[in-house]
Structures are given as C-alpha cells and as structure tokens.
Amino acid sequence: MGLLKQIQQKNHGKDVNHKLYKEARQALRKNSWKPLDLQDLIRNGTMTKEMALFLCTCVKARLNILVSGGTGAGKTTLVNALSTIIPKEERYIIGDVRSNDVRKMLRKEHKGMNGFLATGHSSSPSNMIDRLEIIAYLEGMNFPIIAIREKIASTIDIIVHLSRSKDGIRKITRITEVQGIAGEKIVLRDIFTVNSLEDSFY
C-alpha cells in the first residue's frame, strides 16, 4: 500500500490537507524520477556524443567495463544507462567491486562474465588497478603479483573514470583501455581525456 494511501486511511474524516499528508505528498513528488539514459548524460554534460558512441560500441561488443570514481561521482547512474543497451538476459552487472566480487570476477566464476558492467571506488584508472590488486591478494588469491596482474589485464577491457566537483557537476574525465602486460606492469592507454574539474573530489 502506498504511503499516501496509508496516511489518507489513518486520517479518514480529517482534513485531507493534514500537515503530514502534505509533507508526504511533497516528498514523493520530489523523489519521483526516472533513471537517466545516455541522451540525458550527454545533455547534462556528463559525457560527449563521441564518448557515448564509443561506450555503446564497447557494450555491444561485450567488452568488460569497469566504471571508477569517488563517492557520488555518478558511477551507478552511468552503469544503469549503459545496461539499457543490451538485452536484460545478457546483462551481468557486478556493482561495486569489493571483497569476493573481485575474486569471482578475475576467476570468471560466473558464466555470464563476458561483457560485465561493474563499478569501483578509486581516484583514477591506475588507482583502480592498484585497488584490484590489493583486494585480490586480501581475498586469498595466493598467486605471484605478476599472475594477479595478468588476470586483471585479461579480464578488464575498459575503465571509465568519473569526477565530481564540489558544486555537484559530474563528468567522465577518462576512458582508458587496459592493453595488457609489459614487463611486470599493466599497460593503460587513455582513449578519451577531459581536463580535471576544479575542486573535484576525485
């Protein structure tokens, strides 16, 4: 039963403009929203049309995409928008990668792992890689560090990094390809870069 209906029943015979009813109605109206799609994210400046086209191509090609950024940077919003591009039954959304999610992801324990969308808390694409290495080690992947890096490099295809300024502006500041291993290091290549926002949290 909806909140407004409950309040109406509790206040049956009373003034329908009861303060509690009015506040609840205003709160529900304020929080009524629909998920943003890619067109919305282009209009509000989160990404450019070129970025959107590139990411659509990556999703349709079933590349594994990790969306990184700080708290409130818009990671989940972007993943939700990207998830609308592919059929529901083909989506595998991990959410915020932490603890055993990283182990499952790197070991590809789920049959639908190819083409996943995931989010992770980090300050940059390279920091996201560092965090994955640490989490994998702490979660019991007792491999040499080079083996862990090889697994990361073979699993993650694209890292999309978002930044948020103190006034709430959110932007994709980097789209980075994970190219592989050179020596003992994971090689990253920026495909799109945007000047960091002033006073951005990340």
Whether 1 shows a pLDDT value over 80: the answer reads no
Check whether residue 130 and residue 162 sit in a common domain. yes
90 and 131, same domain (yes or no): yes
Distance CA 24, CA 103 (A): 43
pLDDT band at 55 (very low <50, low <70, confident <90, very high): very high
108 domain-assigned:
yes
Q: Is residue 8 part of a domain?
A: yes
In whole angstroms, give the CA distance from residue 60 to residue 90.
10
Residue 143 domain-assigned? yes
Does residue 46 lie in a domain region? yes
Residues 3, 92, single domain; the answer is: no
**The predicted structure's pLDDT at residue 32:** 42
Whether 28 and 125 map to the same domain: the answer is no
120 is a domain residue = yes
Confidence of residue 42 (pLDDT cuts 50, 70, 90): very high
What was the pLDDT predicted at 128? 94
201 domain residue, yes or no: no
Tell me, yes or no, whether 1 and 87 share the same domain: no
CATH of the domain at 118: 3.40.50.300
Does residue 144 fall inside a structural domain? yes
How far is Cα 151 from Cα 40, in angstroms, rounded to an integer? Answer: 35
Contact 158, 106 (CB under 8 A): no
Whether 170 and 126 map to the same domain: the answer is yes
Quick one: 121 and 182 in the same domain?
A: yes
Instruction: Please answer whether residues 174 and 69 qualify as being in contact, where contact means their C-beta atoms are separated by less than 8 angstroms.
Output: no
Whether residues 68 and 5 share a domain: the answer is: no
DSSP string, 78-146: HHHHHHTTS-GGG--EEEE--THHHHHHHHT-STT-TT-EEEEE-SSHHHHHHHHHHHHHHTT--S-HH
Q: Are residues 130 and 156 in the same domain?
A: yes
Q: For residues 149 and 187, state if they share a domain.
A: yes
For residue 100, what are the domain limits? 38-193
Closest CA to 54 of 170, 194, 178, 176: 176
Measured between alpha carbons, how far is residue 125 from residues 39, 66, 156 in Å?
25, 9, 11
| Pair 120, 96: CB distance under 8 Å | yes
User: What is the C-alpha to C-alpha distance for residues 120 and 30, in angstroms, rounded to an integer?
Assistant: 29
How many domains are there within the chain? 2
pTM listed for this prediction: 0.76
DSSP at 197: P
Dig out the tokens for 140 from the structure: 């019991």
Write out pLDDT tens, residues 70-111: 888 999 999 999 988 877 766 677 777 876 777 677 776 554
User: Looking at the domain assignment, is residue 95 inside a domain?
Assistant: yes
Q: Does residue 95 sit in the same domain as residue 110?
A: yes
Domain identity same for 7 and 87: no
